[in-house]
Amino acid sequence: MLSREEREFVGVVRRFVDSEVKPVAHDLEAEDIYPEKLIEGMKELGIYGLAVPEPWGYGKVSAACYVLVTEELARGWMSLAGAMGGHTVVAKLILDYGTQEQKDKYLPRLATGELRATMALTEPGGGSDLQAMRTVARAEGGKYVVNGSKTWISNGRRAGLVALLCKTDPAAEPAHKGVSILLVEKGEGLTVSRDLHKLGYKGVETSELVFEDMHVPADALLGTAEGQGFAQMMRGLEVGRLQVAARALGVGRAALEDSLRYAQERESFGRPIWKHQSIGNYLANMATKLEAARQLTLFAAQRYDEGDRVDMEAGMAKLFASETAMEIALDAVRIHGGYGYSSEFDVERYFRDAPLMIVGEGTNEIQRNVIVKQLVGRNRVAR
C-alpha cells in the first residue's frame, strides 16, 4: 500500500523514536516539560509537512503513511503525535478549502513547522454539540469582530494559527448553516487564559482561549463563502480521527512491546511469566486486537486516499483502536504486577495516555452516533 519512499520514511521515524524519543520520554513526561528538541527534530524530518504537497511543501504522503508515522511517534510518546495532529488537520483544511492567497500565505510555513497550527472547536459549554457553540464572529466594516471562548485546545499556547470554528450567523436555521472557519493569527483580543492540568498527554500544553472583541480581517474566512465551516470541519475531522486512531495504535504497541519483554524477563514459580497460561493469553489477545485495530485504521486510510467519504470508517477506526489501546494498557499493567502501577515504568504512562483517544476528536459515544447514522443511511429500508 505504501510506496518504497513512504516505507523508508516510516523507518526513519521509527529510528528517530528509538534513538531520540524513547530515552527521554519518561523523564520529560514526569516533569511535564515541553519537548522542544524533539519537536525541532520532527520539523527537520518534515513531519509537520506531511499533508502539504508541492509547490508549498515537498512531503505530502498517503493517509496510510501518515497513520504509520503517527503510530511510530505515539509508540515513543503520545504527546509528540498530539503535537502534530491538529496541525495536519488545519493544513488539510487550507489545502482543500482555502483560497489561493490562503494557501500561498500559510502552507509553506506550516510545511516546515515554522508556523504551528491548531483547531479550536470545543467550548466550555460543550464539545460534542458543536452546533450549540457560542463563539460569534460579527461582520463589521470589512472585518470580523470575534467574541467567545474555546477550551481544551491542544498546542493552544505555541500555535501561531488557530482554525476557529465559530458562528458568523447565530440566527441561522439549521444552526450548522451559520458556522464558518476563520484562520485567526494570534494578536490583540485573543488571550491564552490558562493551560489545563491533565491525567496524561503531558509536556504539550492544552489551553483555554478567550476572544474579546478581536478584530480579524474578512479574508481570514476559510474559502470564500460563510456557512461552510461545519461541513469543512467534519471532512477535516476524518483525518483527525485517523490520526487519533493511529495514536492509539502507538500507545497500544508500546504497551504490548514492553509487556512482551517483561514477560520473558520476569520469572515466578521458576519460569518466565509468559509461560503461565493466563499471561500468555493476555499477550496473545493484546497482539490480536492491536493488529485488528491497525488493519481497520489502514482500511479507513486507504478509503480516504481513494477520495471516499470516510466518516464511518474513520469513526470505526478511532472507536475500536482507542478502546483497544485502553484494554491493552490495562493488560500491560496486570502483566507488570506491582511495577505496572509504578511511575518508574512506562506502562503507567500508557494507562494515563490511552483515555485521551477515547474522548478526543469526538468522544466514542459520538463516533457510535456517526457510525449508526451512516449505517442506516447506506442501508435504508424502503417503507
Binding site for ligand FAD (CB under 6 A): 86, 118-122, 126-128, 152-154, 198, 201, 206, 356, 359-363, 365-366, 369
**First vs last C-alpha separation in the chain:** 41
CA dist 216 and 196 (Å) reads: 26
Q: What is the 8-class DSSP label of residue 170?
A: T
Please state the closest distance from residue 151 (CB atom) to ligand FAD, in A: 7
Please state the closest distance from residue 9 (CB atom) to ligand FAD, in A: 26
CA dist 138 and 143 (Å) reads: 8
Q: What is the 8-class DSSP label of residue 17?
A: I
Helix, strand counts (H, E) of the chain:
11, 9
The percent helix, strand, coil of the chain (3-state, each to 5) is 60, 15, 25
Q: Count CB atoms within 10 A of the CB of residue 373.
A: 13
Please state the closest distance from residue 172 (CB atom) to ligand FAD, in A: 20
Please state the closest distance from residue 225 (CB atom) to ligand FAD, in A: 23
Sign of the dihedral defined by the CA atoms of residues 319, 322, 325, 330, in that order: negative
CB closer to ligand FAD out of 146 and 298: 146
Please state the closest distance from residue 281 (CB atom) to ligand FAD, in A: 31
Strands (E) in 254-339, as ranges, are 267-268, 271-272
CB closer to ligand FAD out of 168 and 259: 168
Please state the closest distance from residue 361 (CB atom) to ligand FAD, in A: 6
Pairing verdict, β 143-154 and 206-217:
antiparallel
CA dist 206 and 309 (Å) reads: 30
Pairing verdict, β 161-167 and 179-185:
antiparallel
Cell 480581517 belongs to 217
Q: Verify whether residue 361 is a known catalytic residue.
A: yes
Q: Which of 140, 313, 361, 365 is catalytic?
A: 361
Please spell the DSSP secondary structure of 121-132, one letter per residue.
--BTTBSS-GGG
Please state the closest distance from residue 337 (CB atom) to ligand FAD, in A: 29
Sequence-ordered alpha helix ranges (H) in the chain: 4-16, 22-31, 36-45, 63-76, 78-97, 100-112, 229-265, 277-305, 311-335, 346-359, 364-378
CB closer to ligand FAD out of 247 and 294: 247
* 240 half-sphere exposure, CB direction, 13 A CA radius: 24
Q: Which residue is nearest to ligand FAD (CB)?
A: 127
The catalytic site residues sit at 361
